[in-house]
Structure 1
Amino acid sequence: MDILFLRDFRLDLIIGIYEWERKVPQPVRLDLEIGLPHNKAGGTDDVADTIDYGAVATRVKAYLHDAPQPITLVESVAEHVAAIVRNEFGAPWVKVSVTKFAIVPGIKELGITIERGARP
C-alpha cells in the first residue's frame, strides 16, 4: 500500500473540556497517514490518480474551524478527520494523530492516535 502523509499540520482551534481552554484558540498538530486506494499515480504522474493532499488539508481545516457543533476532545477531532479522509476522499485506511501542547503542567504534548479502515 502506498501511504500519503501530512506531518506537522498546525491549526489553532477552540478545543478542550475546561472553560479556560475554550476562551481562545490553541495550537493543535495533526499528523495524517493516508492509505491510497491504488498505486497508479507513480506511473501516470496525474493527481486524478491519487488523493490530493492540498484538498485534504483545505477540507479538514474548513471543517474544524466551522464544525457544526463545538468539539471538545482530541478523540473527536481525530474521528472527524478520519471520517472526512475515508468518506470524502476514498482512502481505505487512515491514521490520524492529534496533539495539544503544554495543557497539563509537566507534560509537553498530549493527544491521541487512531487508525480507521483496513490495510490491504
Structure 2
Amino acid sequence: MFHTESDVVFVKGLTVEAVIGVYAWERAITQPLLIDIALETDISRAAISDNVNDALNYKAVCDDVSAWCQAIKAQLLEHLAGQIADKLLAKYSCHKITLSVAKPTASSKRIRLGCRSRVMQRSSKISQL
C-alpha cells in the first residue's frame, strides 16, 4: 500500500470539563471544552493487518487529553492547546497535530469561541518559555 499524503486519525467533539479562564469566577468552576484532534500518522500497518495493536489507541488519546486538560488549569485556550499538542507529539507516533479547543460558554450569542493549533515540532525558543 503506497500513500502520497499523510494519513489522519481524528477525534471530533471530545467534551472535557476543566478549569479554564482568566477571571476569578472562572478559576473557581469547571467549564466545558469541545476538542477536535487530528493526528497525522502512518496507518498502513493497521490497514494491512486489521490488528488493533497496530493502530493508534483512540481511547488512550481521549483519556490523556481529558486528564491533561483537567490537570493544566490554563488561563488561556492558546496555552492549553499548545500544551496538549506538545504532550500528544511526545507520547504518540504522529508527524503533525491539528488541535482545536473551543469554550462554548464563552459567549451568550450561541457562537463557539476557541483556537486551533497546528504543530509539527516546537522550536527551541518556544520550548524554553
User: So what's the TM-score if we normalise by structure 2?
Assistant: 0.81
| Structure 1 vs Structure 2 CA RMSD | 1.7
Match of residue 77 from structure 2: 74
Which amino acid letter does the alignment assign opposite residue 83 of structure 2?
H
The 5 A counterparts of 1:8-87 are 8-67=13-72, 70-87=73-90
Which range moved further: 50-59 or 103-112? Answer: 103-112
CA distance in 1 between counterparts of 2:64 and 2:94 reads: 14
Corresponding residue SS for 1:72 = coil
Matched, 1:2 2:7: yes
Equivalent position amino acid for 1:19 in 2: A
Q: Name the CA distance, whole Å, in 2 between partners of 1:20 and 1:107.
A: 21
Q: Distance in 2 between matches of 1:107 and 1:114?
A: 23
Structure-1 separation of matches of 2:113 and 2:67: 23
Secondary structure at 1:71 match in 2: coil
Aligned residues with identical type, % of pairs: 25
Task: Tell me if the contact between 2:32 and 2:105 (Cα under 8 Å) persists in the aligned partners.
Answer: no
- Residue 44 of structure 1 aligns to which amino acid in structure 2? S
Q: Once superposed, which parts of structure 1, at least 4 consecutive aligned residues long, lie more than 4 Å away?
A: none
> Which deviations, in whole Å up to 9, do the C-alpha atoms of 1:36-68 show, x marking residues without a partner?
13521111112332221111111111222223x
Would the aligned equivalents of 1:30 and 1:99 in 2 still touch at CA under 8 Å?
A: yes
Unaligned stretches of 5+ in structure 1? Answer: none
How far apart in 2 are the matches of 1:45 and 1:84?
27
Unaligned runs of 5+ in 2: 1-5, 122-129
CA distance in 1, matches of 2:103, 2:64: 20
Task: Measure, in 2, the Cα distance between the counterparts of 1:93 and 1:50.
Answer: 17
Structure whose CA Rg is larger: 2
TM-score, normalised to structure 1, is: 0.87
What does the per-residue CA deviation read over 1:22-48, in whole Å, with 9 as the maximum and x for residues that have no partner?
221011000001111352111111233
